[in-house]
Chain A
Amino acid sequence: MTVELGHFSLVLALVVALVQGTIPLLGAHRNDHDLMMVARTAAIAQMLLVGIAFAALVHAYMVSDFSVRSVVMNSNSLKPMLYKISGTWGNHEGSMLLWVLILAVFGGVLAWFGGSLPPALKARALAVQAWLAFGFYLFILLTSNPFERLVPPAVDGRGLNPLLQDPGLAFHPPFLYLGYVGFSMAFSFAIAALIEGRVDAAWARWVRPWTLVAWVFLTIGITLGAWWAYYELGWGGWWYWDPVENASFMPWLAGTALLHSAIVVEKRDALKGWTVFLAIVTFGLSLLGTFLVRSGVLTSVHAFAVDPARGVFILALLLIIIGGSFALFAWRGPSLKGGGLFQPISREGGLLLNNLLLSVAAAAVLVGTLYPLVYQAITDGKISVGPPFFNAVFVPLMAPLLVAMAVGPLLPWKRGDLSPALRRLWVAAVAVLGVTAVVWSQVTDMSLFGFLGMALAAWLLVGTLVELAGRIRLFRAPITDSLRRLARLPRSALGMTLAHAGLAIAIAGMAGAGAWKIERIQVMAPGDTVTVAGFTYTFEGAQPTRGPNYIATRGTFTVTRNGKPVATLEAEKRRYPVEKRETTEAAIHPTFWGDLYVVIGDQKNTDGAHVTRIYFNPMIGWLWAGVAVMVIGGAVSLSDRRHRVGAPSRRRADVFGGATARS
């Protein structure tokens, strides 16, 4: 019964979306307050209805209702409860339902808390949200219904890919979708602004926190995926420029650019058209990401044709949403004239450079990701565009960005001078030399990528701290005075410092792990020892063990350094009988300068000898820590008063572009 209740709720949500997509628009056009207020009620109703639908599906997974097709295909009665629940979104149908749930929640939150917004802007933004929801509800109900029953019911389910049965990956899709769908808010505001023909500082102040929320979630989502790849796939890699990864990385790049261009709109009333355009592009790339991953088009253009209903539907949806928005932009965009002027060497100039490089990077990743598809469609031949291409393109674009990132925040608004800013960065230059010298003395493998990364990380980290020191007058005022200034610093400024410093730390991690990873592959009998990066590993033997839905071989290693014990590592190789798959569970011992990483492979002889892989992944922890600092920076910035309550009310009289408020 609950399954039908969920199905019915979703249909009802479709109808509510239709109401929310039309009546408030009419209300905003006629300036009719009552009609506009329909949006609020409808958005909250949608949130509840989709919430019921999603809860019904989660319930079906939790109780293992094998009369539901989706549960049979993706679950199994033996799975631990966490993975029964995460299995809800570990498949196509369920993940699309999660997608619309998040969309409905964002809409509901906007309706509930958006009290300070001008009613017409809010009504229009919610109407745009409703149209997006309408398209996706139709997609789910017509082509990907998770509530479909199976007659007769199955005895048990087929299980979930064991690689996905992992805490990191259980929460990877929800965060990713919170990011993707979060950008729909910026998109809806952009479309609403185009309809109104008006973008101003207040508009940017509403868009910034929503974009920041989406950015924080997407950052977490992408990193969870990378972290999972690092510890689960078993060779210490974390990024492969895989099309699925690129699909999530493109909206991140565009969203990061949007985050910065919205600042220029807010502070200086410039780059308005560009910011609106970027909001459309960012969400467009989020949709493309969903499409690329969900349509099967990535495996092969021909796989797309295997299930044409879904692929064609979502492609049509994509074309309508993106094409329609660009058409609207082409029509209304030119009227969005900015007032603020600035020189290339200025804070705005720095932010524009950021936008230039990030957008080009996003475009290059897009070309690289889609090129094999287009190539195959046109010539029917196949080519691969892999890491060598992306590294060759991406690194030269990011290096100048990182150099400029330390300089930009030191420049004044409107017009500035480069030399005082550069003079303040002498400490950063010293840090670059120092770090390069230290790395030189430590490594035997001269990797240009590694040195470049470390130097850039040092430059950016120290440059960011120089900016902070300047703000709080560190060493130029008494220390108590500086501390007081630090406490009074606007949260958004502190957030920027944290986010930029976090990126610097993450870059150091990427460079270290990318350039100086050490790997040893060998057969080890119990008692054998291997020394990797100064750590001595002794294989103590392997025992069979079992988990709730798998059997495993667990190898034990003791690690010593200069005779002193460091850690005991237990690596597993698991076999999942239901899914007929094996996974490796690497044993990882993180240290400040790198992770000790051990993987156990097949048994080689009867005497208990096993294939073992032992890695030293230098600085990899810095990558995770750096991202954590970036995310904290985003959250701190989000807590800024001005983002929460400061969204100012526009002067009543000129809110509606000439139309006077009804009184």
Chain B
Amino acid sequence: MAWLAPSLAVEPDEVLADPTLESRARGISQGLRCLVCQNQSIDDSDAELARDLRLLVRERLVAGDDDQQVIDYIVSRYGDFVLLKPPFKLATLALWAAPAVILLVAGVAVFLYYRQSATAGGAEAAPAPLSQAEQQRLETILRDRDVSS
């Protein structure tokens, strides 16, 4: 009988005695994905695999690794998929560049819109003359107003 959700995220027995080391472990854990969950970090996840990874992170920290070494070690075992923050490399160039490129394109579009309306601005200064129909309507309205007042 497989019971789902056996326990919750970080358990007291995992916590390291050294608070600085523990807080580094928490920081690293928040950037690592629980591989069997949807976009959850191992710090938040209650899955068995997440617990194993949390323990692994702490093991490496106790062994004296610095943060980057721990992350590199985990990535070497599980691949880039484990990183919630995708690494900068050729395959993720489009991802990291996209927001900036979209902002740039949108900004240029807005700029062109203003420039275009600036050149059309002359037309606004001197509005198009009324058409004959409009002229007649205007006169009717003005006449009606005179009558009613």
Interfacial residues, chain A to chain B (CB-CB below 8 A): 234-235, 237, 240-244, 298-299, 341-344, 352, 356, 359-360, 363-364, 367-368, 371, 375, 379, 381-389, 392-393, 397, 521-523, 575, 580-584, 599, 601-602, 611, 613
Contact = CB atoms under 8 A, between A and B. Distances in A.
B12 A522 contact: yes
A389 B99 CA distance: 11
Given A364-B98, A388-B31, A521 B106 contact: no
Contacts of B40: 240, 242
A94 to B, nearest CB: 22
Contacts of A367: 94-95, 98-99, 102
B3 A599 contact: no
Contacts of A368: 95
A359 B106 contact: yes
B110 interface: yes
Contact of B99 (A384, A393, A580): A393
Given A383-B92, A384-B86, A580-B3, A341 B106 contact: no
Nearest to B109: A356
A383 B5 contact: no
A17 B79 CA distance: 50
B38 A244 contact: yes
Interface in B78-98: 79-86, 91-92, 94-95, 98
A549 to B, nearest CB: 16
Contact of B85 (A240, A356, A388): A388
A532 B69 CA distance: 33
Contacts of A243: 38-39
Contact of A242 (B38, B91, B113): B38
A582 B6 contact: yes
Given A360-B103, A360-B106, A611-B12, A382 B81 contact: yes
A341 B86 contact: no
B1 interface: yes
Contacts of B12: 521-523, 611
A344 B124 CA distance: 16
A342 B114 CA distance: 8
A21 to B, nearest CB: 34
Contacts of B117: 341-342
Contacts, number: 129
Interface in B35-65: 38-41, 44
B4 A582 contact: yes
A584 B8 contact: yes
A585 to B, nearest CB: 12
Given A342-B117, A356-B107, A521 B38 contact: no
A375 B10 CA distance: 31
Given A341-B117, A389-B85, A521-B12, A582 B3 contact: yes
A8 B121 CA distance: 60
Contacts of A385: 84, 86, 95
B85 A360 contact: no
B11 interface: yes
B39 A384 contact: yes
B67 to A, nearest CB: 14
B8 A613 contact: yes
Contacts of B80: 381-384
Contacts of A356: 106-107, 110
Contacts of B95: 367-368, 371, 385, 389
Nearest to B2: A580
B74 interface: no
Contact of A341 (B4, B83, B120): B120
B13 to A, nearest CB: 8
Contacts of A364: 98-99, 102
B99 to A, nearest CB: 4
B21 interface: no
Contacts of B6: 582, 602
A615 to B, nearest CB: 11
Contacts of B2: 580
Given A341-B121, A599-B8, A601-B11, A383 B81 contact: yes
Contact of A581 (B4, B81, B82, B83): B4
B7 interface: yes
Nearest to A396: B99
A362 B91 CA distance: 22
Given A341-B117, A359-B106, A386-B41, 18 more contacts: A240-B39, A341-B121, A352-B110, A356-B106, A360-B103, A364-B102, A367-B99, A368-B95, A371-B95, A379-B91, A381-B79, A383-B81, A387-B84, A521-B11, A580-B1, A602-B6, A602-B7, A613-B9
